[in-house]
Homo-oligomer: A and B are copies of this chain.
Amino acid sequence: MLMDDMGWGDLGVYGNPEKETPNLDAMAADGMVLPDFYSANPLCSPSRAALLSGRLPIRNGFYTDNAHARNAYTPQNIAGGIPDSEILFPELLQKQGYRNKIIGKWHLGQQPHYHPLKHGFNEWFGAPNCHFGPYNNINTPNIPVYRDADMEAVTFLQKQASSQQPFLLYWAVDATHGPLYASRQFMDTSRRGRYGDAVRELDYGVGIILNQLKSLGLDNNTLVIFSSDNGAATYAKQKGGSNGPFLCGKETTFEGGMREPTIAWWPGKIKAGQVSHQLGSLMDLYTTIISLAGIEKPTDRIIDGIDLSATLFQNNIEDREIFYYRGDELMAVRMGIYKAHLWTWSNSIQEFHAGTDFCPGQIIEGVTTHDQTNYTAQPLLFNLGTDPGEKYKIKPESAEYKQVMPNIIAAVNKHKSELVKGDPQLNYCDSHLMNWAPPGCEKLGRCLKAVPSDRNLCTWPH
């Protein structure tokens, strides 16, 4: 269950003051909470590409090198998408006899050869793009809105239970990504406005799905993971989610951008009421899931995800690094309780003055910088245990800094020396490629004529 722009601080169990997620809180009480779990990128499509490929966006191609350290996502007119050379874990499961369904947002390429049915999924309910909206914009045609994501899941689970075929359900709902939406039943029911309405509806859907697993007798044989693709969009102000005590949000490599509200649930296998401070990544789901399915991981490439089985089932802790990338640049690294920033950037001062603020109300000198600030010669070091908000730099002349930093530098150097960058998929845009005539447009009389091809370098503001 992968949420969209939902923040670490949006769940009751993760400290949201309105505590409007009873089903997720119950899921957490029945399973394991992972407060130190990260996405591989602070933006939708690179994060999702990393989850499915088990590899950092810099390896799988979900980045741009048109400009330094720029976030890049997958709009409709992007020329790239998930490369055929990437081995997605649904593909591996499929070969092992699993039936796989994606419900919701794909966002790994608009052209037909990038679509989920070509990359390991048997069923697809959703759209290839970022978001769903009315098909009413002649300039950037969109996809008809859909609803009932939970019922779609329930039907799939029932079918799989009766066929006794193993399955993967990738529930990639997007209601918490702007423009926000909620069904009538949930409209104006939250103390948090429309964003809260969406959270409440998704929480309700989680409850429906977990209960369906129980009533089908599948609960003791199904691993369920809940997380989010990136931090809350703090720039959306009251219309975005909450990153709790963390700094900034979506698009940044501060904790608010990449720390995700994560819960693992498997009654009978994962003991109830646990907390694990394992440093986790969405990419670990790749390795963990194929391991549980008895599949060997690919040996011809680096897989960044690690196998979390021992964390989930024995509450073991394994040392590992978390790498925070923005576009083509490694911005920060976490090892243990420490995080080092090699580069800082919130957004440009021009964007900021034009009204886009990634860190509303938060200003930390030398940290939330409006230019790309290079600290590679002497990284900024923070202790996330005593300082989760990344406010208090550990002095370079301190014993603590001198003890910690060499290990971090060594890990960075090792990572960089072994890095083989993928072919950047998000460098070129071409409006010709947009979805001018999606399936069903004939019935609505809304098919549009594609514009001529005009391939150009994509420029990304952040």
Contact = CB atoms under 8 A, between A and B. Distances in A.
Interface stretch (A99-107, A191-199, A295-303): A191-199
A391 B361 contact: yes
A389 B195 CA distance: 16
Interface in A372-404: 383-389, 391-392
A190 B18 CA distance: 28
A12 B237 CA distance: 26
Interface string A1-24: 000000001001011111100000
Contact of A17 (B36, B362, B363): B36
Given A14-B15, A383-B238, A388-B17, A361 B360 contact: no
A33 interface: yes
A238 B388 contact: no
A206 B96 CA distance: 51
Nearest to A190: B385
A446 interface: no
A199 to B, nearest CB: 12
Contacts of A192: 385-386
Given A244-B244, A361-B363, A391-B360, A385 B15 contact: no
Interface string A100-117: 000000000000000000
A193 B242 CA distance: 25
B19 A238 contact: no
A190 B193 CA distance: 37
A191 B362 contact: no
A238 B383 CA distance: 9
Contacts of A19: 33, 35, 275
Contacts of A388: 17, 242
Contact of A387 (B12, B35, B238, B392): B238
Contacts of A16: 15, 245
B18 A245 contact: no
> Which of the listed residues A14, A15, A192, A275 has the most CB atoms from chain B within 10 Å of its own CB?
A15
A200 to B, nearest CB: 13
A386 B17 CA distance: 10
A247 B360 CA distance: 12
A455 interface: no
Interface in A294-338: 337
Interface string A351-369: 0000000001111100000
A191 B244 contact: no
A191 B14 CA distance: 17
Contact of A15 (B9, B190, B193, B387): B9
Given A337-B191, A361-B362, A361-B391, A385 B242 contact: no
A184 to B, nearest CB: 20
Nearest to A362: B361
Interface in A53-69: none
A246 B16 CA distance: 11
A245 B16 CA distance: 8
Interface in A71-113: none
Given A19-B35, A244-B244, 11 more contacts: A17-B244, A18-B385, A29-B29, A190-B385, A192-B386, A237-B387, A237-B392, A242-B388, A247-B361, A361-B362, A361-B363
12 contacts: A14-B15, A17-B36, A17-B245, A18-B385, A19-B275, A193-B385, A238-B387, A242-B245, A244-B245, A361-B363, A361-B391, A362-B362
The 9 closest A-B pairs by CB, nearest first: A15-B15, A191-B385, A238-B386, A193-B386, A361-B391, A19-B275, A361-B364, A363-B363, A17-B35
